[in-house]
Amino acid sequence: MAVLEKAPTPPLQAGDVLSRAEFERRYAAMPELKKAELIDGIVYMAPPVRAEHHGIPHVNLATLLQVYAARYADLKVADNSTVRLDMLNEPQPDLLLMRDGGQARIDLDGYICGAPELVAEIASSSASYDLHQKKRTYLRSGALEYLVWIVAEKRIVWWQLQGDDFVEIQPAADGSLESPNFPGLVIDAPALVAGDFAKALARVA
């Protein structure tokens, strides 16, 4: 009797409509793939990353969050970590800040389950899906804060959850933004977007 060969796992393709389980199966079969996300059941795949439009802003913002979190034993910063929100949403946010015993947890597979308290993304422009599909997903899941650094437009937008909507956090007189849920977490947005990292770091160090 002939033995049927197991069909190969199909590769992930941008635009695929998949369940979370099938998305994870295909993602696991592509170890060379650095970033793919499932948003409302649709697969999104990141383009190649440019240093000035993503890589450098990413590491600068990550450093600020980590310096802040280092003061507190119950805070964790994660970079490009898979977040299991629900059966149709599995984003991989650029950065997140979560509280031990908070509304998200790390499951037995090592993935984050539930919406972290703060999610941050680096976007090239306001047309990016970070400010549309993903923002709506984080809102529905109950993330308390959502920050997007829109690099090409030289601005940082930060929202907080109020009721059933995200409300933009208004800047102080000097343009800085402060978290409503993490006391002392201040982002000097003008300094950060201007490339003055030392000044931005001084606000949280």
Q: What is the DSSP string of 37-81?
A: EEETTEEEEPPPPPIIIIIHHHHHHHHHHHHHHTT-TTEEEEES-
Mean per-residue pLDDT of the chain: 94
Query: Can you read off the two tokens belonging to residue 150?
Result: 């829109």
pLDDT at position 192 over 80? yes
User: Does residue 11 fall inside a structural domain?
Assistant: no
The stretch 103-127 carries a mean pLDDT of 95
Instruction: Give the predicted TM-score (pTM) of the model.
Output: 0.92
Please name which of 120, 126, 196 lies closest in space to residue 155, comparing C-alpha atoms.
126
User: Does residue 91 fall inside a structural domain?
Assistant: yes
Q: What is the pLDDT of residues 59-104, one digit of tens each?
A: 999 999 999 999 999 999 999 999 999 999 999 999 999 999 999 9
pLDDT at position 163 over 80? yes
| Structural domain count, the chain | 1
pLDDT of residue 205: 77
Q: Are the C-beta atoms of residues 146 and 159 closer than 8 Å to each other?
A: yes
123: CATH: 3.90.1570.10
Long-range contacts of 43-48 (CB under 8 A, 24+ apart): 43/12, 43/13, 43/14, 43/15, 43/16, 43/17, 43/18, 44/14, 44/129, 44/133, 45/12, 45/13, 45/14
User: Does residue 185 fall inside a structural domain?
Assistant: yes
- DSSP-based three-state secondary structure for 199: helix
Bigger pLDDT: 15 vs 126: 15
User: Does residue 14 fall inside a structural domain?
Assistant: no
Furthest CA-CA distance within the chain? 78
Domain extent, residue 162, equals: 48-202
Q: Where are the alpha helices (DSSP H) in 40-196?
A: 56-69, 133-141, 189-194
Query: Can you read off the two tokens belonging to residue 101?
Result: 């015993």
Share of the chain above pLDDT 90, in %: 88
User: Does residue 27 fall inside a structural domain?
Assistant: no
